[in-house]
Amino acid sequence: MKTASRVLGTAFFSCGFEVQDAPRYGAERRGAPTFAYVRASQKPIQERGVIRNPDLVIVGDDTLPAVPAAGVMHGVGAQTVMLIHSRDDADSWRHRLNLAGPVIVLPTNGDVAADTDLPFVGCVSAGAAARLTGVISREALMAAVAKELEPLGDRAVRENERRALAAYEDMEAHEGVVREARDIRAEEYEAPDWIHLAPEEAKISAPAIHAAATSEHVETGAWRTARPVVDEARCNRCWWICSTYCPESAIAVSPEGRPEIDYDHCKGCMICVAICPSHAIAAVPEEATPREELESR
Amino acid sequence: MSRELLTGNGAAAWGARLAEVDYVPAFPITPQTEIIETLANWFESGEMPGRLVTLESEHSMITAAGAAAATGVRVFTATSSQGLLYGMEMIFSVAGWRAPFVLVNVSRGLGTPTTLESDHTDVLAARDSGFLQLHCATCQEVVDTILMAYRIAEDTRIRLPVIVNLDGFYLSFTREPVELPDPALARRFLPPFDAQNLRFRASAPTSQGVAVLGGSPYSYFRYQAHLASLRAIEVYDEVADEFEAAFGRRHEAIEAYRCEDADILFVMIGSFATKAKAAVDQLREAGWRVGLARIRLLRPLPVDALRRVTSGARGLAVIDQNLSMGQGGVLHSEVASALYGHPKAPPILASFIGGLGGRDISPEELYEIAAETRKAIDEGRSPLPRLLFTRDELREIRKLQAIAEVERNELEVKR
């Protein structure tokens, strides 16, 4: 998404807009929720930080709306356009998230995105977004992809250009659907609900966690792009290797020596896949996991 | 002149490159690391002559920076937050060496609790060190200010190191349009460092940074550094004039935005001031007479300019993105000490603490700050200091505390 924001930012900029784009860093790890934002304006931009009321929200992974920390719905209002990469249709998302504004799903042909499409989500998003704004030309988009991906080499640039352009063409029916919201005016603002903090006892106000295992509440399993799956026939019941090497302690071993993976907390690092001496653990893309199984969790 | 999109960190690296620095002692820390990564790439590819060395800590890094500057070469370094504090012993020491260099600090709140996001408590801890201190509000200012900082630092009347501060996240990782100064113009504006008698040479022994006992010599040397710092107010203005003549951009020690007829002024430092500018425009449209005084040069504090800029106002709303525990906002007390007893000082001085640990400040909050200040003007009494903190935020804290089992009674029982 950082790539998407830079491509979109550069494209806006070359079309004569003032631009501000930034990724938001937190847990720097593949699969962890992350986001980036772009502002564009005909005037110099004085606003800063995370966009409070976005005109367009792009979701690159449809497991994110269910993750509170991802903040997908933050500031989404009646005017906000939602562009989401998903195999579910727009009506489902409109209903599921109670969205009042336009909802657009990628890919538009209803095909399930293949695993090999994943690295291109950024440029596909940027290409689609460019058309949705209605103010970015094909040429500006192509030049922006080439500029931002140049360090990755010609092949990566060409493939990303192709996909960004396809997404741009795909969005023809929605050209210009994104509208610039009004600034919040000083005549009619809603006053912040400030409070004066009262002093509290140190046992309350010290930053300490007294409960054990609070990380159980956070289902980091949603970060996975692929899951390790144990082949019972090949597993030789060594009882310790995968479970010891698992950095998340997400593999327990049953009394019979059978590894049991806690998919709520396995982040999909695949260390177990690499370390298993009998090659009994395979990496299966999350998209290949049956939907019912995901929903039953 | 063409512009390009650069992050604040990228702009900082360009500042060092255009200053043609000879030596960069480095140590990584979020959110600063991108600066030294960018410089390392340029040194590696030969685009920048000179040398980058990674040290084993910020303490060593700042020592190396001061020591290299004391040999008469141009030095650049960068750090943030805990790193600045880890090097704090040497921050005070090297300033006393009177060896000029530029240190970029990318502001980040201090532990505890730990955070990665921005506030100014880190850089303000260096306030009394002897380093001059310049605060940027945009990525453009970052590159411009680094060039200006070398001119001021290396001025023979000053010869003190300078901290150039930019805010983590809000500038460090944010791309904005930046016009890079032309290298030839930059070289003309900032010629090679003339170190005068600041040198270490073979067969020419020098003792720098000596020990003194008895108090009198100590007083002399310390006060001389203080006087040099104060002189930087006039030197800053000279350098700002020259910078404007060379590049067409004016960076005042105190930026006064729509202050002329203002009743109420926001007083701030750093990148959140651009938000305040937008709020000033909106409030003006709604018929309020509001302005912004943004302090760029914090050390030395340009007291006369601050008095001049604020003299017509009836109330000041100081917004501190820092916290001096047991006292409050640092900028608030700086402004109070600068204005106290001055006949034209605004009668109302209100203190707002906001933006700690990267907490955003919304337009509505800026409007409300103006409203509270106006109410205080009408009542003739400065309000109590206020933390920008909402009921919803407290509710969120209560949720976290419940998970952490902070205030549950059974916690006591279990033990």
Shared fold status for B4-247 and B255-393:
yes
What pLDDT sits at residue B64?
A: 98
Contacting residues of B for A195, CB less than 8 Å apart: 389-391, 394
Q: Do B116 and A25 touch (CB under 8 A)?
A: yes
> pLDDT per residue over B30-39, tens digit each?
999 999 999 9
pLDDT for A27 equals 58
Q: What is the DSSP letter of A199?
A: P
Q: Which ipTM score applies to this complex?
A: 0.92
Query: Which of the 8 DSSP states describes residue A286?
Result: G
B68 burial level (CB within 10 Å; 0-12, 13-18, 19+): buried
- In sequence order, the β-bridge partners of residue B328 are B324
Could you name the CATH architecture of B255-393?
A: 3-Layer(aba) Sandwich (3.40)
Residue B414 has pLDDT above 50, yes or no: no
Judged by CB atoms closer than 8 Å, whether chains meet at B169 and A22 is answered as yes
Contact A204 B175 (CB under 8 A): no
The predicted structure's pLDDT at residue B413: 45
A195:B391 CB<8 A: yes
User: From its phi and psi, is residue B159 left (phi > 0), alpha (psi between -120 and 50) or beta?
Assistant: left
Nearest-Cα distance to chain B for A38, in Å, is 9
CB nearest to A48's CB, from B274, B386, B405: B274
Q: What is the mean pLDDT of chain A?
A: 90
Q: Which of A9, A22, A192 sits opposite B368 (nearest CB)?
A: A192
What does the mean pLDDT of chain B come to? 96
Residues of A in contact with B288 (CB under 8 A): 186
Beta bridge partners of B353: B320, B387
Asked whether the beta carbons of residue A46 and residue B274 sit closer than 8 angstroms, the reply is: yes
Contact B362 A46 (CB under 8 A): no
Is the distance from CB of B19 to CB of B190 less than 8 angstroms? yes
Q: Convert the pLDDT of each residue in B249-301 to its tens digit.
A: 999 999 999 999 999 999 999 999 999 999 999 999 999 999 999 999 999 99
Contacts of A13 in chain B (CB under 8 A): 5, 177
pLDDT at B110 over 70: yes
Domains, chain A, with CATH or none: 2-174 (3.40.920.10), 219-295 (3.30.70.20)
What's the Cα-to-Cα distance from A63 to each of A89, A109, A295, B15, B245, rounded to whole Å?
14, 20, 11, 42, 55
Residue in B closest to A12 by C-alpha = B5
Chain B closest-CA separation from residue A20 CA (Å):
5
The C-alpha atoms of residue B63 and residue B90 are separated, in whole angstroms, by 6
Residue of B nearest to A24 (CA): B169
Contact B363 A194 (CB under 8 A): no
State which fold the B4-247 domain adopts.
Rossmann fold (3.40.50)
End-to-end Cα spacing for chain A: 27
Confidence of residue A113 (pLDDT cuts 50, 70, 90): low
- Alpha-carbon distance B182 to B20, whole Å? 13
Domains of chain B, by residue range, sit at 4-247, 255-393
Chain A residues near residue B175 by CB distance under 8 angstroms? 6, 9, 19-22
Q: What is the pLDDT of residue B412?
A: 47
Nearest Cα to B271, choosing from B78, B51, B31, B34? Answer: B31
